[in-house]
Structure 1
Amino acid sequence: MYLEEEVLINDHAPPVHIAASLGHTDILSFLIDTGFDTGARGVDHDTALHCAAMNGQADSLQLLLDAEAEREARDLDQKTPLHLGAAHGHIAVTVALIRAGADIKARDMDQKTPLHWGAAHGHMVVAVELFRSGADVEARDMDERTPLHWAAMNGHTEMMNLLIGEEADVQAKDMDAKTALHWAALRGHREAAITLLRAGGGVNALDKNVNTPLHWAVSEGHTKVAKELVTAGANLEALNVSLSTPLHGAARFGHTALLKVLIVAGADIDALDEEHKAPLHWAVHSGKIEAVRALIDTGANIHAQTKDQNTPLHVATLKGHTDVVLLLIEAGVDIEAKLKTK
C-alpha cells in the first residue's frame, strides 16, 4: 500500500480503484462508461467502492453506486464499504451508503459492526447517523465487546456519553468478563472511568480472573484512575484468582506512588496472597527499591514468611538484589533466618 496525496491506495490496484481513491471522478466515469468492472478486486479483495469509502471520496462513491457497484462487497477482512467509511470517520460516505441501502448491522471477520468501528475511533457524527438508521448499541463482536467497550478502551469520552444516552449497558461484560470500566482502568483513561462511574459502572466488577478495575489500574500504573476508583468506593482488599489485592500489584510492579495512595486509603500492607506472599515480598522479588522502602517506612512486616517460610531477605538474596538486601538489613531483618529448601 502506498500514500498518494494522503490517500491510501493498494499496490497493483486496478485503475478504477486508483481513480476512486483519488477522487478523479472524470476518469472514474470514463472507466465505468468504457466497461471497466466496478466489482474488480484488489490484492486485499477490496473493490473500488471500498477504496472510495476508505478515502472519503463521496463523489466517487456515488458514481459507483449509480453504476450499481455492490454495496455489500466484502474485502479480505469481511469489511463492507460502510465498515471502512465508519472506521475512517467519513460522514458523507456513511450517509450515501446508508441511503443506498447498505446494511448498518453488517459483521466483519471479527464480528464488528460499523458502529463498533465508529465508536472505537471516536467518530461522533458517524455514530449519530448510524443510530438514526437503527444501529444496535448492544451489538457484540467476536470477543463479546460492545461499542461501549471499544469507546472506553480508547478513551473516547464524548462517544461514551452518546452510547450511554442510547442506553448502552455500562455493566456489559466481554468474553473475559471485563466491563467498559475494566478497560478504561487498564488503559489509564481517567475521564472515561469517571464517566462510567457516574453512569453506574460497577466499581467492584470482577473479570474472569476476579480482577476489579482497581486491580488493573494499579497493575498498569495508572495513578489518576486508581484515585478515582478509590474515591468511588473500590474494595482495597479485593482478592483476585491468585488471592492478590491491588496493593500486591502495586508492589510487584514497583508503582510507588500507587502504593502510597492505597496505603493512605487504608489498604492492608501485610495482606497475604495464595503463596502467603505479602506486598513486601513482591516488591523485593522485583527489585523495586523505592517500593520496598515505601512499604518498610509504613510499617510492613519485614519478617513475614511465605508458605515456604521465606522472608523478604531470603527473596532478595535469591534474586541477587544487593541494594534491597542492604536496605532490609538496615531495617533490622533477622539475618540468621534460614532459607527453606525443597
Structure 2
Amino acid sequence: MPLIDVLVLEGASAASVAITFELIDVANRIRARAGRPPCFDVRVSGSGARWATQLARLPSKGSANRPADVVIVPGLAWMDEHLVRDGLQRRDADTARKALRAAFQSGAEIASSCSAVFLVASAGLLDGRRATTTWWLGPLFRQLFPRVTLDTDAMVLTDRRMATAGAAMAQLDLMLSIIARHAGPDLADSCARFLLLERRQSQSRYMALSFLTAADDRVSRAERWARARLHRAFTISELAKAAGLGVRTFARRCERATGLSPVRFLQKLRVDKAMELLETTRLGLDDIAEKVGYADPSTLRRLLNREKSPGARAVRKRDHGATLSRMHGARQPARRRRLPVSPGGTGSGSV
C-alpha cells in the first residue's frame, strides 16, 4: 500500500489541505465498499502538521515509519510576489526543502500545486523539467527558476516523478491524478463522480484520462490535438503525426500511458464528448454523432451502450422517444454513411 506523506507548512491553504485528505479518504472508502483493502496509507509532516492532523481528524501518531512513496505539498497561501519571496525565506521552508530532497532521493514522487510549486522548485527538484503553477505568478516563477520549463496553460504536468498543478481547483486535479496513477483510472473516475457529480458531471469523466496522458507529453499533445478536432474524422497516422511520433511508437506510448490502444483512446475521447452533449444539450443523437465525428449514429449508440454509463441510459431514453415519434408518423432522417474504423491499435483508418 503506497504511503502518502502530506507535507503541510504553517499558513497553508485550508481548502487545499482539506481536499488532499478528502480525496485520500474517498478513495479508501470506495475500495472498502467493494470489500477491498485501502489503497493509501497517510501521514502528515511539516510545520503545520499538528493543525492539519486535527483538520483531517487523523490519529496524532504517524501511521507509518518508512520512506514515503508520494510526498504531497498542498497549496500555500502565497498569493503575490511579496508573500512568495518572504515564504521561501522562512525557516520551516528550508526544513521542508531538505525533507523534499531526501524523499526524492529515496525514490518518492513529489506532488505540489499552486504556490507550493515554488517551494519544490526552490529545492532544485524541478530544474530541467516541465511544470505548471498558478497563472498569475507565472512571470515571477520564470524569473526565480529559469531552469524550469513552465507551462501555465496545463492543468496537471507530470515529469519524472514530479507532478505539479495550477490554480483554482488545482489540488483536486492533482489528487485525482495521483489516484489514477497509483490506484487506477477507474478509481479516480469514481472519486470524481462521488465528489463532483452534481456540479461538474460533464467534466468529471474527462479527468482520469487527461491525468494519465499528462504522464507523457507526446500523448498529452495528441489528446489536445484530437479534442479540438472531434467533429471530423482523422486517421491514427494523423494523430501520431500531431504527437510528433511514428504510428508504432505512438501506439506503444499511448498504451503505456493510458492502457488503451490508439483506436480505443480516440473512441473514448469521442464518447466522452458525446456524453457531455447528451447531458448538457437538447441535441438529438444524429446531431451529436455528427459533432463527435461519427456519420452513422448507430456507431455512437453502440459505443455509448458499451460504456454502461448514464450517457448510455440517455441514449436508451432518446431511442424510446424516437420510437414514439415513429409511432406518430414522424419523419426520420436518412441513414448516413458509416465512417471507416481501423480494426487495430496502430492502423491508419479514420476513427
Q: TM-score, normalised by structure 1?
A: 0.34
Whose helix proportion is higher, 1 or 2? 2
Whose strand proportion is higher, 1 or 2? 2
Of structures 1 and 2, the one with the larger relative CO (CA 8 A, separation 6+) is 2
Structure with max Cα Rg: 1
Q: TM-score, normalised by structure 2?
A: 0.33
